[in-house]
Structure 1
């Protein structure tokens, strides 16, 4: 049975954020709010937790997992980003975008797309997620909470509780959110390719 935290959307309770961080550090999987619906998250180094997320989502090794970062300063450790790409990221973040880059050697191999050796990078504008990342002190391995057979992110934390309370360790109720997933922009080969149009405006890439 998962823990269910009602987290204030503007001023997240430090106590609840700390409890969520402790759950992550103990190997847990959490559901937390972002600026494009709810997401699943776990620690980068936890293989078992990552596999639990993959089972919930029904995703395989060709899926691009995402590192949810506090800010762009963490990017260089995990993604190969040239100056032109960095300027574009600076313009679009924080926001509802996932950027796909070639991963660096700092990224565990199991997190990379099997064939292309890529990783997704996000910087969210959601207050709860940002406080969570600040308290954690490192990026969070993450993926949008899109259930098998659906093409939208889950937005209702009560409904998420009904579906997943026996499959995750904590659910952070941060309000009822939009259902659009992130806009995915693949920049791994030097070009800008819109893989999925979602909550983020694609105008900057046109």
Structure 2
């Protein structure tokens, strides 16, 4: 059975549509959704079978996963990661925004997402759709980028083309308009120093 394809407007997300997505996630579904960078593939972080399905789609072992997850806001992050004073000041300035922060994980992070690692990647994207999904769900969702097989175009930006490709692998695809083709900037901030792991859409000058 092909995935549902639903339209949600990022400027004014329909609450009923958000609840529809959340119901899918609660049932263990996989959802493709827009962010402020590229389209992401995700599930409820507490559903281990759904996380394993995403790992299969990505062609990796669940124990080798490098998934990050989306939180609603800064206060939500503190439930899952330890944030030092320097990191907090920076994150308060740049979030919501196109950054993934690698932080020291707390015991609230499910084992499958934190296998043999003491850190976790966390995002608060500048797109209301995934953040409202997380708020309604009551806990974070996994986020991993939708990559294209094309050698030139690394990330798919057209939700209809994304649907064509993934409709038999996921349960729902959200059309939130055209996505970007530059991923988030990844910043390691597990102490009071910052290390740029990957330069992406987010401005790195705030860390220099």
TM exceeding 0.5: yes
**TM-score between the two structures when normalised by the length of structure 2:** 0.91
Aligned pair count reads 205
Report the CA distance between 1:148 and its aligned residue: 6.1
Deviation string for 1:66-103 (max 9, x for gaps)? 12011000111111211111111111100010000121
Unaligned runs of 5+ residues in structure 1 are none
Tell whether the 8 Å contact from 1:44 to 1:141 is kept in structure 2 after alignment: yes
How do residues 69-88 of structure 1 correspond to structure 2 at under 5 angstroms?
Answer: 69-88=71-90
Tell whether the 8 Å contact from 1:64 to 1:113 is kept in structure 2 after alignment: no
The corresponding residue for 1:68 is: 70
Distance 1:47 1:17 in 2: 22
The corresponding residue for 1:127 is: 128
Deviation string for 1:15-63 (max 9, x for gaps)? 2111110000000010000000110111111111111111222234344
Report the CA distance between 1:133 and its aligned residue: 2.1
Tell whether the 8 Å contact from 1:56 to 1:147 is kept in structure 2 after alignment: no
Distance 1:178 1:11 in 2: 19
Deviation string for 1:113-168 (max 9, x for gaps)? 53x32110111111222222222222112222225686833321111111100000
The corresponding residue for 1:154 is: 156
Tell whether the 8 Å contact from 1:183 to 1:200 is kept in structure 2 after alignment: yes
Distance 2:10 2:111 in 1: 35
Distance 2:169 2:33 in 1: 14
